[in-house]
A = this chain, B = another copy of it.
């Protein structure tokens, strides 16, 4: 018996929580809300039996120690915006929610760091930093919280300029499966002190430890913002501009590349406040410490775009026009959902990243795979798929989306599996930013091989011998996990 989720065992945990004044709920809706979300669907069998709300590292430690002793599986929750099933309580068990740990514990303006609890959202954090001229640049979905962002090693449109979550966490306080609390570092920007436990925990999707406090690096708020768009006849031209920009040494703020169908979806949705040409479009953000620096970057970008045959290239520093242009980039997710012709239609997407030189090959190959899947198949839905690509082009990370009838689910997912294989052949990864969860476990095994998975599994087992922390995520547990 790997886990004991009997009523009496769960009741014993609840009594233990009460004794330590730890809040909890067994309300079905509350429990469902921590496992089943729009982006991370789960079945009724995959909902936790209790949700506990620790208010401190100490309470989180009490919970894990008790769960480990009782062999109770544990999922964790903060903002609930992750993809891919990281939230599913596959074994039932309990959920530790950090929604009541959302404080800023200390802000060190001169050191440009901040100590926060995991339930704090990055949007709220930036709201509180604004007046100080400080900025936390990792920007996944607006509802995401620091704890989940660490667990999933997230990124977003700022990653091209600022890197991912891995670049912005100085140290962590984390509770291991047996309740042991570790602090990976203190607050220095740089350290060579022993194994890098910080980075080991980042991206481990709640399977190695629960983060209860984090020291985050901050940067200065981008100033002198300019936004531009350049349009091209081919996606490859857009990529070539980005390659040339990187070699030039100019560091822009954001570079996002959408293909023609993507711009069609934006126009069709009516969500943007102007019409765009339905051709490959590069969205650019530029900022810098002075107007002179920004001017220089804009000139470099314009010259490179023209040199690579851009059909148009426009920049603006006018706030209203920035909103119009960047609004088009921001509405892309909703514009894709709006491509559904029936409410039951599916919207699935990939998250591959490849070396940037391979990005055109990835997108062209993806288009081919999708059109092949549509063309050769005699099913009634043939030709009914809508497909579009948008990429964090500076990172080589592209989301290829398919909107299709529900009955084509299997076929669409099979195509995305082939897209992931194509990314691997192009020396890329199956997940640039969304993480593995349940959905990409087999793809991860194709990426790092049996030996890579086993190396990860050994680490999991070293820290979580009973396999209680978010079981079944990232990779499958195996017999050796079940040392009971």
Query: Within the assembled complex, what's the spacing in Å between the Cα atoms of A446 and B184?
Result: 12
Q: How far is the CB of A419 from chain B (nearest CB, A)?
A: 14
**Taking A152-B192, A199-B166, A296-B289 as contacts, is the C-beta distance between A186 and B248 under 8 angstroms?**
no
- Cα distance, A399 to B44, chains bound together (Å): 58
A189: interface (CB < 8 Å): yes
Give A451 to B194 CA distance when docked, in angstroms: 13
Inter-subunit contact A463/B455 (CB<8 Å): yes
Is B429 in contact with A185, judged by CB distance below 8 angstroms?
yes
Within 8 A of B (CB), among A149-193: 152-155, 159, 163-164, 166-167, 176, 180-193
Partner of A197, one of B221, B432, B455, B474: B455
A433 partner residues in chain B, CB cutoff 8 A: 190, 192
- The total of chain A residues at the interface (CB under 8 A) is 101
Measured CA separation A176–B183 after assembly (Å): 27
Tell me the complex Cα distance, A10–B71, Å.
46
**Of the candidates B196, B428, B444, which one forms a contact with A153 in the assembled complex, judged by CB atoms under 8 Å apart?**
B196
Which A331-371 residues have a C-beta within 8 angstroms of B? 351, 353-358
Q: Chain B: which residue is nearest A299 at the CB level?
A: B290
Top-7 shortest CB links A-B = A199-B199, A462-B462, A249-B289, A188-B353, A111-B355, A110-B357, A220-B249
CA distance A219 to B248 in the complex (A): 10
Tell me which residues across on chain B come within 8 A of A455, comparing CB atoms.
176, 180, 182, 197, 463
Q: Which positions 66-94 of chain A face chain B at CB distance < 8 Å?
A: none
Nearest opposing residue in chain B for A154, CB measure: B192
Are A356 and B289 in touch, CB under 8 angstroms? no
Q: How far is the CB of A94 from chain B (nearest CB, A)?
A: 23
Cβ of A58 to closest chain B Cβ, rounded Å: 14
In the complex, the chain B residue whose C-beta lies closest to that of A357 is B110
Closest CB in chain B relative to A394 CB, distance in Å: 8
Q: Which residues from 224 to 251 on chain A have a C-beta closer than 8 Å to any C-beta of chain B?
A: 243, 246-250
Interface of chain A residues 132 through 163 with chain B (CB within 8 A): 133, 152-155, 159, 163
Are the C-beta atoms of A447 and B176 separated by less than 8 Å? no
Distance in angstroms between the alpha carbons of A440 and B180 in the assembled complex: 24
Cβ–Cβ contact A357 & B186, under 8 A = no
A262 interface residue per 8 A CB criterion: no
Q: What are some 16 contacts across the A-B interface (CB < 8 A)?
A: A108-B357, A113-B355, A155-B190, A166-B199, A180-B455, A184-B448, A193-B436, A193-B444, A193-B447, A194-B448, A195-B204, A220-B249, A223-B249, A292-B292, A292-B296, A462-B462
Q: In this assembly, does A112 line the interface, its C-beta being within 8 Å of a C-beta of chain B?
A: yes
Beyond A249-B220, A249-B289, whether A463 also contacts B458 by CB under 8 A is yes
Beyond the given A194-B436, A249-B289, please list 12 additional residue pairs across the A-B interface where CB-CB is below 8 A. A109-B247, A111-B355, A183-B448, A183-B452, A188-B353, A188-B427, A193-B429, A196-B203, A199-B200, A219-B249, A250-B289, A289-B296
Output the residue of A159, A191, A429, A436 with the most chain B CB within 10 A.
A191
By the criterion CB–CB under 8 Å, are A474 and B189 in contact? no
Query: Within 8 Å of chain B (Cβ to Cβ): is A48?
Result: no
In the complex, the answer to whether A191 meets B111 with C-beta atoms within 8 Å is no
Q: Which residues of B contact A315 (CB under 8 A)?
A: none
Q: Bound state CA distance, A200 and B456, in angstroms?
A: 11
